Amino acid sequence: MSTGKIIGIVVFVVIVLFALFLFQTIKTKSTSLNNFVPYKELIGKTVVLNNDVILYKYKNSAEVFHSNYPYFLIDSKDPDWISIPNFVEINEIETIFEIPKGASLKIEKAIQYTNGVSGTSSPFVFGTITSDGIDYKVGYQWGEQSMSKNFDNIPESWYFYQAPWQNELDTSFYYLPKAKIW
């Protein structure tokens, strides 16, 4: 084999390895939160909703965090509630219907997603809600990180706004892991 071919093969291998490394670095990563408080107390349990919620679906499947759970719930106590009409107006999400308080949600798992570019994390619970005999696989983004606690390197930097199944706001801060590459 000539020196030119060897150099060509080495350059090709280096480019492929660099592309794989780059892909692994910038892709969204995920990790289970099933064993972390407050999620571990909910996994496998059925909770009753104390508020009306609205069921939505992303029109673009690339926006869905978990392909087995294409719907998402939101209620008026959610910090993102105010931006939902904008997403409906620009046709990114569609409103499915309102689910009245008293409905049951079986929580199946919790996952933390960390964006590979920005590094921000978003925790979700996933489960099944039944309405009129039809099961809907849903996600619910639940948890926010206090930037000041995070910048001060305080591990317990996560707080939770009042979820539709909670009777009152939990004012504690919790530790949650960041999703890793592997």
Q: Are 109 and 34 in contact (CB under 8 A)?
A: yes
Closest CA to 174 of 79, 34, 38: 38
Per-residue confidence (pLDDT) for residue 48, from 0 to 100: 94
Could you give the dihedral angle defined by the CA atoms of residues 50, 51, 52 and 54, in that order, rounded to the nearest 10 degrees?
A: -110
Model confidence over 14-60: pLDDT tens digits?
888 888 877 766 677 888 999 999 999 999 999 999 999 999 988 87
Per-residue confidence (pLDDT) for residue 68, from 0 to 100: 87
Determine how many CB atoms are found less than 10 A away from the CB of residue 39: 24
Per-residue confidence (pLDDT) for residue 134, from 0 to 100: 87
Cα(73)–Cα(140) distance, integer angstroms = 5
Per cent of the chain over pLDDT 70 is 92
Per-residue confidence (pLDDT) for residue 61, from 0 to 100: 61
Per-residue confidence (pLDDT) for residue 80, from 0 to 100: 84
- The answer to whether residue 56 sits within a structural domain is yes
Single-letter residue type at 86: N
- The answer to whether residue 8 sits within a structural domain is no
Whether residue 122 has pLDDT greater than 90: no
Residues 6+ apart with CB under 8 A from 69: 126, 127, 137, 138, 139
CA triple 164-166-169, angle to 5 deg: 105
pLDDT band at residue 123 under the 50/70/90 scheme: very high
Whether residue 92 has pLDDT greater than 80: yes
Per-residue confidence (pLDDT) for residue 94, from 0 to 100: 85
pLDDT band at residue 118 under the 50/70/90 scheme: low
Q: Name the residue range of residue 87's domain.
A: 27-175
- The answer to whether residue 136 sits within a structural domain is yes
Mean pLDDT, the chain, rounded, equals: 87
- The answer to whether residue 19 sits within a structural domain is no
Q: Domain tally for the chain?
A: 1
Residues 6+ apart with CB under 8 A from 24: 181
- The answer to whether residue 20 sits within a structural domain is no
- The answer to whether residue 133 sits within a structural domain is yes
- The answer to whether residue 100 sits within a structural domain is yes
**Helix or strand or coil: residue 25?**
helix
- The answer to whether residue 44 sits within a structural domain is yes
Per-residue confidence (pLDDT) for residue 167, from 0 to 100: 92
